[in-house]
Amino acid sequence: MNIEKQINEIQGFKNLELLANQVVEGFISGLHKSPFHGFSAEFAEHKIYNPGESTKHIDWKLYAKTDKLYTKRYEEETNLRCHLILDTSSSMHYPRISELSATSLNKIGFSALASAAIMNLLKRQRDAVGMSVYSDAYEFYASEKGSERHHQMLLGHLNSAIKVPSKPKNTDTYKHLHLIAEKLKRRSLVFLFTDMFQSDAEEEALFEALQHLKYNKHEVILFHTYDGQKELSFDFSNRPRKYVDVETGESVNLYADTIKASYEEAVQQFFDAIKLRCGQYRITYVPADIHQGFQKILTTYLVARQKFGG
């Protein structure tokens, strides 16, 4: 597989793997001021000591360096399984960007780079990662593995996901989540990147599908991916524009200022409703503005991993 050739053809990231590594290195370098102090030096070999556990395996040398108690983690304890799920429907390709970079991202570019960064951390931990990609069809599935060859294969599919579809693609997220839940046999961390755009009639079905994953004992984290400037704040100039639904092709002509206030109110209600439903279903809800960087994404991963691994 020629990853560089793929990237050049789609004019996406020039080097997704390198960029993901830079994102992770920047994240780790800032952890010394966070509650996760010690993560960068001994990340793969230790876990936080919990009061009441045996003190037999406490690493006192690491305690001397970090002033925090960690126990040595043995090989059988390090094995964690993670499954990344990407929505690649047409709305995820908003806004249209010809060449993606860390400072120039659309929703699918943000999701792909965030996924690659999570994969980078999993690789450092020697953990297994799998991936599902869907839009109007269940386009790709790979089970959880930890090999370098598998890692490169997933990077290749992330690069392919960035490609703008030749025709509009809507999404039936709930259908694909049920299929994914059936495929995931062993307990896993599940990260879903989606902008949550679906019809009102499908919202209940979507949460039933997420509940299907929870029923199988997976830990589910929903990264609600959006463009805060355009999709949340409706930051458009007040001149006549045609606004086109990228999935259905339907359009409307209007001045932005005439609906800005009511639009923002409706969108905020939509976000609040999703957050509330996630809380009811014990799904971790993380709003992911593509203009806000990756610290929230990777911190969420780190907290989820520590909770999941005990």
- In angstroms, the first-to-last Cα distance of the chain is 38
119 near 151, Cβ under 8 Å?
A: yes
Task: Considering only residues 101 and 284, tell me which one the structure prediction assigns the higher pLDDT.
Answer: 284
- Name the token pair of 288: 């992911």
CB atoms within 10 A of CB 278: 19
pLDDT at 42 over 80: no
226 forms beta bridges with 289
Strands, E, within 124-250: which ranges? 128-134, 138-145, 189-194, 219-226, 241-244
Q: Give the per-residue pLDDT at 38.
A: 44
Mean predicted confidence (pLDDT) in 266-295: 92
* Placement of tokens 């499908």 in the chain: 202
Q: How do residues 103-137 score in pLDDT, each as one tens digit?
A: 889 999 999 999 999 999 998 888 899 999 998 88
* pLDDT over 50 (residue 279): yes
Contacts (Cβ under 8 Å, ≥6 apart) of 151: 119, 123, 129
Answer whether residue 43 shows pLDDT above 60. no
Please tell me the predicted confidence (pLDDT) of residue 197: 78
Residues 111, 91 contacting (CB under 8 angstroms): no
pLDDT of residue 164 exceeding 80: no
Helix (H) or strand (E) segment spanning residue 200 = helix 200-215
Selection from 191, 214, 172, 177 nearest residue 294 by Cα? 191
Residue 5 pLDDT > 50: no
Q: Name the pLDDT band for 276 (thresholds 50, 70, 90).
A: very high
Res. 2: pLDDT tops 70 = no
Q: Does residue 246 carry a pLDDT above 80?
A: no
What proportion of the chain, given as a percentage, has pLDDT over 70? 76
pLDDT (average), residues 81-90: 93
**Residue 85 near residue 180, CB atoms below 8 Å:** yes
| Strand ranges of the sheet holding 138-145, from the earlier edge strand across to the other edge | 138-145, 128-134, 81-87, 189-194, 219-226, 284-289
Spatial separation of the C-alpha atoms in residues 247 and 226, rounded to whole Å: 16
Structure tokens at 132: 């599902």
Most confident of 21-35, 74-88, 176-190, 232-246: 176-190
Per-residue pLDDT tens for 151-163? 999 999 999 888 8
What is residue 254's predicted lDDT score, i.e. its pLDDT?
65
pLDDT in tens, 182-230: 999 889 999 999 998 766 667 788 888 888 988 878 999 999 999 988 7
What is the pTM for the complete model shown?
0.79
Percentage above 90 pLDDT, the chain: 37
| SS3 (DSSP) at 270 | helix
The distance of Cα 147 from the centroid of its chain, to the nearest Å, equals 21
Three-state secondary structure call for residue 82: strand
